[in-house]
Amino acid sequence: MARGERAPVAIRNGEPIVAGTELPVAEVVRACQARSVDIGLAELAMPEIDRASLEPVLAYCAERRCKGENATCPGCRLRTEQLGLQTLDDFITWHAEIKFTASGLTLRGRGTQAMTADSLEVLAKTWAGEEYWFWARRVLRKLRHGIRRAHLGGALPVSGGALPVFILVRPQLADNIGMVARALANFALDELRLVEPRDGWPNEKARIAASGANFVVDGAQAFVTLAEAVADLSWVAATSARQRDLAKPVLTPEQAASEMQRRMADGQRCGILFGPERNGLETEEVANADALVMAPVNPNFASLNLAQAVLLVGYEWMKLSGAGTLGRVTTYEEPVEPGLRTRGSPPASKRDVLGFFEHLEAELEAKDYFKSPEKRPSMVQNMRTMFTRMGATEQEIRTLRGIVKALVQPRRSGRDSP
């Protein structure tokens, strides 16, 4: 924010509001997300807020600056996290009472807040709050770049800065262009340019092959010459599986992504070229590029299809940006971290593990499993080593103890005999 520029958001009672108004930031984001930007602003009917003043407000929310100011909006997931409410039970307990418009049901807690929800079913799905910052990013993208899709699948990528341009030179199949669009969408990239597409442009086959990444297809630009396609770029890399007799830097996809990120941080625009499916880029086209990009592949089978080549570079770009997640993340699905998933059960304590060992060994002793007294210590040691190696959770130890108990207890009466 420039010196002397008024902050776009003020804090009132721990809640972000648009500076100079009494309008909550969450209300602005919600209105513009539910409709278009212009319709949302019209419905808010606040002359202090127009398209120009809206952008810094959206950026405040999109970048989650509220966390640094210890201020959150009611209904936002950040508010729920700030209050330490991890379950629906916690949420209910935090309130004094919750009433429902669909029934006479009232839930009472130990807090001071009261609220009304549509129904218990709706509350169970929405209590954790909405990701307003994600909505703000989408609205910000529409405000800056317009809507590139209408009534179509897919979603606009969320970007924290400038993105590289991907240029397909003389692509032969519209289906391949669609698959490239899908690969770009996987990694939050959306600027696609085409040079002399053989089957013409636009092309419905590309939309079909994009499998929902229609916003990339709709935003793709077609150019007559490569020179026109790269005219506004300051650094361009060319991909190839063939060695070229050119004095030129050779980069891996990872190094190319790093180089583009470095240059774009300095305000440069960067792009990467991909050649036709059959023979790739001509040597003259590679010669005009600033660097050559070659992927480490099987030397006896080095050819990649167009979408695969784009995907490799896109993957390396997202790895460096740190914006990706392991798999899908939705309102009800948290990001997954690498490593063992324990499904919410903490690692078992040594008390629990040793208790299981004693239980198991006592039952085995009762069944005369340890027939050789001199071998018993080594047998116990091997069993304990085996179970310790699994790194069991509390729930898994309870399950193992339940299995031992079920095996040694006599069959309960009333069950049919086999």
Helix spans in 146-251 (H): 174-186, 204-209, 214-219, 226-229
- pLDDT tens, position by position, 161-212: 588 999 999 999 999 999 999 999 989 898 999 999 998 898 888 988 888 8
Contact 178, 192 (CB under 8 A): no
Which range is most confident: 77-86, 93-102, 230-239? 230-239
CA 397/CA 352 separation, integer angstroms: 7
Whether the per-residue pLDDT at 397 is higher than 90: the answer is: yes
Whether the per-residue pLDDT at 322 is higher than 50: the answer is: yes
Gap between the terminal Cα atoms of the chain: 77
pTM above 0.75, yes or no: no
Cβ within 8 Å of residue 153, ≥6 positions away: 211, 212, 214
Q: Residue 16: helix, strand or coil by DSSP?
A: strand
| DSSP bridge partners of 9 | 18
Question: What is the β-pairing status of strands 95-100 and 106-108?
Answer: antiparallel
How big is the chain, counted in residues?
Answer: 418
215: confidence class by pLDDT, cuts 50, 70, 90: confident
Q: Which two tokens stand for residue 53?
A: 């003043």
pLDDT at 238: 97
Whether the per-residue pLDDT at 303 is higher than 50: the answer is: yes
Mean pLDDT computed over 90-100: 92
pLDDT at 169: 97
Contact 312, 264 (CB under 8 A): no
Whether the per-residue pLDDT at 1 is higher than 50: the answer is: no
Domains, the chain, with CATH or none: 1-83+129-147 (no CATH), 86-127 (no CATH), 153-321 (3.40.1280.10), 350-408 (no CATH)
Number of C-beta neighbours around residue 362 at 10 A: 12
Task: Supply angle C-alpha 53, 163, 179, rounded to 5.
Answer: 120
Mean pLDDT (the chain) is 85
